[in-house]
Amino acid sequence: MYPLKAIQKTMAAYRHLSTCVFSEKGRYYCVNMTRIHKDVERVIVDEFCNYVLSLIKE
Amino acid sequence: MPAKKSVNQIRVVVNPKLYSLEAVYGAAYAFLDRAYIFLDQNSKKEILVTLKQKEELSKKELDVMAGEFQNALLSYSLRNEISKNNRKIREYIVGRALIGVLPENEEIDESKEEIQEWKGDDLGIAVPWEKKFAKKTRTKTSRE
Amino acid sequence: MKKSPESTSLVHINKEKVGFFRFKELKGKYLVTNDSGCYLFLTKPEFKKFIQGKLDKKSSTYKNLQANNFIKDDADLGKSIEICQQRNVFLFQGPSLHIVVVTLRCNYNCVYCQASSRGIGAKGMDMDKKTARAVVNTIFQSPSKDITIEFQGGEPLLNWPIVRFIVELAEQKNRKAKKNLFISLVTNLSLMDGEKHAYLVKHSISICTSLDGPESLHNANRPFAEGDSYRATTAWIKKIKAREKKDSSLYKLGALVTISKYSLKYPKDIVDEYRKWGFYGVHLRPLSLLGLSGKFKNSIGYSVPDFLKFWEKAMDYIIGLNLKGKFFYERGSAIMLRKIMGDLDPNFLDLRSPCGAGIGQILYNYDGKVYTCDEGRMLGEDTFILGNVLKHSYKELVSHPNLRVVCQASILENSACDYCAYKPYCGVCPVLNYALYGDLFAPGPDNYQCQLHMGMLDYLFDKLQNKKVRGVFEKWMGLKKSNRKIS
């Protein structure tokens, strides 16, 4: 569903907001986020997913 | 398409035999400003699209959003079909239009320096149109 | 709709009859556009018949679609190719607009200053002769047969000797180069005097100033420590306009307005102010969000919906004036309308694919640094630099990887924009995307510029369905009769 390249680009774009660690688990790509910036903790996961989708269209 | 509701979000189940993944991406893109979108796939290979509200929405408004998403899926399916059916003719028109602006019998001079300059151009942006759409009558250059 | 057994698609399109088009639902109808920039409005039943290939060939709908290159098996390919050429002719012309920042010093303190100008006493902010000479030499290496040199600042009149030097050197070089040379000066007019004006007239230099609206609004946006900026500017507007009346061969004085938060309550007043001073048009520009206008966007900025509300009120008022027989136009819409209603691209660098950065315009800063465009300079950093006129040749400048990257980032065909019905009439600014989102490509339907353009185009297309308003727009274009066969 989510191309790897788009996920990697998003991780790079979000590096100033959290530490992202990539892994694969079965059929899924996993992005583990730690040290999340306080201002975005509520929304970062949702925004991350949307950002990946937006890159797919580019 | 069935839609399943839970608090703050609604899920639309998409039949991949009717809607391409491209159409799903297109529709999702159109909704990025209104909702958080999550994609998944179940064991039946159906595409599960979850729309999570960004702002407070009533149950009715969530239903409306799901309906609009389904309409967007139809629109993007149509767009993809139109694009697919007309790709070659569009390329032909643009190619002929751009090459047509160049003067006749123009020799394509590819010096070593110029070839060097195009290296590193992984996306091929700098590939001249005259290379891509060269007329048969043009003089072909020889590379060293 | 019946699904064919082999087809996985839900939508049945007649592949032989339906040419390429984009579409959008607009107030209950379908707006269809194509690569030729043609457009039509279809009702829902007409749209359905069109995509199914079931339109009656004798119907006016079919005839309109055919005349505008929407019917694949009845299309004039030669005409499509010709229109495509006309709409993209700028690709082969080379940079024609050369912006020269002769000084970063300014005597004003505009709240939205895009140039991040410095105070009048700042040192080391003026272009010197050596740099100016290198700038002119570089400009004349552009392959474009049309060359526009536009002086900007700061306030360019603060470095008047270099303005004169560049003008005279350019004229001298042009005697041999024989380009269509056009020179313009952007100034707040506060430092204008009789001698300078006479020089500008003698050398046919076009003048453009800023007028933000009635006195209190203009002064709020453009504070001037030495007095009243409105009076300083309008004193010269009056003189120049008086001279224009006596000599119609003179270039008409231009004026631009920048809309800040303070302007939003005065759509009609701004238009009336321009009419009062004898202008026949106004360009209602939103904040660029670059330079100071980006830094202080929380205090002087506004949301896109707020700007569009203001803009629509102003447009309604302007259209109303025209319907009463008083000619007046809004320049930003006129540019968009020229793309919608005509086949020749107006080559407005912000509304094309790719944008004009580096290939349509180049900016030369006071210190010799060369930028892809005006916006690249306004960012206030070196991200969009191509080199320096004192160190790099023209070829080195235009071969810089930054230029290719910006070009690529503004090609609409590479992005989600390619699905948008408004794609033939639109453009993106990678510099603005970078400034706002940290990304040249800045995807997303909530993109600031996308929302602005979308709102304006929605309004214009809605108005185009009204015959009387369409007639007003045609007058703005100088078209007595549109060359498109639309019923």
Place of tokens 């536009």: C150
DSSP C74: G
Quote the pLDDT of residue C221: 86
Rounded Cα gap, residues C71 and C59, in angstroms? 13
Q: C412-422: per-residue pLDDT in tens?
A: 887 788 889 99
Per-position DSSP letters for C453-467, written without gaps between them: HHHHHHHHHHHHTSH
Quote the pLDDT of residue B106: 46
Rounded Cα gap, residues B77 and B82, in angstroms? 9
Task: Show the domains of chain B with their CATH numbers.
Answer: 3-85 (3.30.70.60), 87-133 (no CATH)
Domain parsing of chain C, residue ranges = 2-87, 93-487
Q: Residue C271 corresponds to which amino acid? A: V
Report long-range pairs for C74-82 (Cβ below 8 Å, ≥24 apart): C74/C17, C75/C19, C77/B93, C79/C36, C80/B93, C80/C35, C80/C36, C81/B93, C81/B96, C81/B97, C81/B100, C82/B97
Looking at the complex, report in whole angstroms how far the Cα of residue C8 sits from the nearest Cα belonging to chain B. Answer: 5
CA C19 to chain CA centroid, Å, is 30
CB spacing of B36 vs A54 below 8 angstroms: no
Q: Residue C296 corresponds to which amino acid? A: F
Secondary structure of residue C449 in the 3-state scheme: helix
Contacts of C438 in chain A (CB under 8 A): 13
Its ipTM equals 0.88
Q: A1-30: per-residue pLDDT in tens?
A: 999 999 999 999 898 889 999 999 988 999
Expressed as residue numbers, the domain containing A47 is 4-56
Per-residue pLDDT of chain C (487 residues; tens, 9 = 90+): 222 223 334 557 899 999 999 999 999 999 999 999 999 999 999 999 999 999 999 999 999 999 999 999 988 889 999 888 888 888 888 899 999 999 999 988 887 776 678 888 889 999 999 999 999 999 999 999 999 999 999 999 999 999 999 999 999 999 999 999 999 999 999 999 999 999 999 999 999 999 999 999 999 888 887 788 999 999 999 999 999 888 888 888 999 999 999 999 999 999 999 999 999 999 998 887 877 667 777 777 889 999 999 999 999 999 999 999 999 999 999 999 999 998 777 778 888 888 989 999 999 999 999 999 999 998 888 899 999 999 999 999 999 999 999 988 998 887 788 889 999 999 999 999 998 888 888 767 788 999 999 999 999 999 999 999 999 999 998 864 433 333 3
Rounded Cα gap, residues C72 and C70, in angstroms? 6
Rounded Cα gap, residues A20 and A36, in angstroms? 9
Looking at the complex, report in whole angstroms how far the Cα of residue A58 sits from the nearest Cα belonging to chain C. Answer: 5
Q: Which residues contact A24 (CB under 8 A, 6 or more apart)?
A: A30
DSSP C2: P
Query: Best residue in B9, B24, B25 to probe A by mutation, most A CBs within 10 Å?
Result: B25
Contacts of C92 in chain B (CB under 8 A): 101-102
CATH superfamily of C93-487: Aldolase class I (3.20.20.70)
For chains B and C, CB pairs below 8 A equal 86
Looking at the complex, report in whole angstroms how far the Cα of residue C39 sits from the nearest Cα belonging to chain B. Answer: 16
What does residue C126 show for φ and ψ, rounded to 5 degrees? Answer: -110, 145
Gyration radius of chain B over CA positions:
24
Q: Chain C residues within 8 A (CB-CB) of chain A?
A: 414-416, 438-439, 441, 443-444
Tell which residue, C231, C251, C253, C257, has the closest CA to residue C241: C253
Secondary structure of residue A43 in the 3-state scheme: coil
Looking at the complex, report in whole angstroms how far the Cα of residue C412 sits from the nearest Cα belonging to chain A. Answer: 10
Quote the pLDDT of residue C349: 82
Put residue C117 in one of left, alpha, beta given phi > 0 → left and psi -120 to 50 → alpha.
Answer: beta
Contacts of A55 in chain C (CB under 8 A): 443
What is the total count of domains within chain A?
Answer: 1
CB spacing of B39 vs A56 below 8 angstroms: no
Whether the Cβ atoms of residue C341 and residue C457 lie closer than 8 Å to each other = no
Q: List C-alpha distances in Å: C474 to B118, C38, C481.
A: 45, 15, 7
Q: Where does the pLDDT of residue B131 fall: very low under 50, low under 70, confident under 90, or very high at 90 and above? A: low
Q: List C-alpha distances in Å: B95 to B128, C149, C179.
A: 11, 33, 29
CB spacing of C72 vs B89 below 8 angstroms: yes
